[in-house]
Amino acid sequence: MNIIFLGAPGAGKGTQARKLVADFGLVQLSTGDMLRESQSSNTEIGKKVASIMNPGELVSDDIVISLIKERLSNTHATGFIFDGFPRTIGQAGALDTLLDVHDTSITAVIEMKVDNEALVDRITGRYTCAECGEVYHESSRPLLPTSVCIKCGSVKLKKRIDDNEESLRTRLDEYNNKTAPLIEYYLNKGILYSVDGLEEIEVINSAINKILLK
Ligand code: AMP
């Protein structure tokens, strides 16, 4: 089973993807996480990626496609969850070709629908556990007073550089202009399903499970 999560920044793709990893034993491939890893190496490519990601623009198709290609070739799994990939029509075409080479295809594309204004609050208040990636929020899911991750016990919490209002506006523009056309692309293939991304995490999770198990 191969699943794509489609949705604006802050729609909850990563959170739901991690739940599916646990429920279905799939491997999560997040291009955002891979690109952040490439920045921590402090190489020329890492610096270039940072200068594109921090203000909220999309990294070139060539870079992200080669990251996914490499992971698909080197990971043994019964299926993958693509979290934040593809983000352009070019990336979607490349993914179809790559999966074809591996004799597989996309099972379902889950679109997480959210209102853009709700995203500003979600994103600007968001922080995560640096160890396990659990997501928290300054007002809706705060860790105070302990500041200890409830999932893994780490005290290392972090905030993303691009989780500020200005970068978010650019990320939303990039989503609307370059990624939203994928909704029609997958609708035409008959594999698009939409869920309400403003519901509670568990409600969304059961809606997704229902889609995948039908
Ligand atoms: P995310 O963690 O998915 O929110 O991605 C964070 C940032 O990484 C995005 O704003 C882009 O700059 C970059 N990025 C992640 N995935 C892609 C992709 N598939 N194509 C282009 N840029 C990407």
Q: Is 65's C-beta closer than 6 angstroms to any atom of ligand 1? A: no
pLDDT of residue 147: 87
Q: Is 12's C-beta closer than 6 angstroms to any atom of ligand 1? A: no
Q: Is 58's C-beta closer than 6 angstroms to any atom of ligand 1? A: yes
Give dist(CA 177, CA 192) in Å, integer: 19
Which residues are designated catalytic? 13, 87, 126, 160, 171
pLDDT of residue 116: 82
Going from the C-alpha of 1 to that of each of 18, 119, 166, the distances in angstroms are 15, 29, 37
Q: Is 167's C-beta closer than 6 angstroms to any atom of ligand 1? A: no
pLDDT of residue 146: 78
pLDDT of residue 214: 83
In total, the chain counts a number of residues equal to 214
Residue nearest to atom 6 of ligand 1 (CA): 32
Please answer whether residues 117 and 65 qualify as being in contact, where contact means their C-beta atoms are separated by less than 8 angstroms.
no
Q: Is 95's C-beta closer than 6 angstroms to any atom of ligand 1? A: no
Give dist(CA 159, CA 50) in Å, integer: 15
pLDDT tens digits in sequence order for the chain, 214 residues long: 999 999 999 999 999 999 999 889 999 999 999 999 988 878 888 899 999 999 999 999 999 999 999 999 999 899 999 999 999 999 999 999 999 999 999 999 999 999 888 899 889 999 999 999 889 999 889 987 778 999 999 999 999 999 999 999 999 999 999 999 999 999 999 999 999 999 999 999 999 999 999 8
What pTM was computed for the model?
Answer: 0.91
CA 167 to ligand 1: nearest atom: 10
E strands, 37-186, in order: 80-83, 108-113, 126-129, 135-137, 157-158
Among 5, 58, 114, 170, which is best to mutate for testing ligand 1, by the most ligand atoms less than 8 A from CB? Answer: 58
Distance 145 CA to ligand 1 centre (A): 32
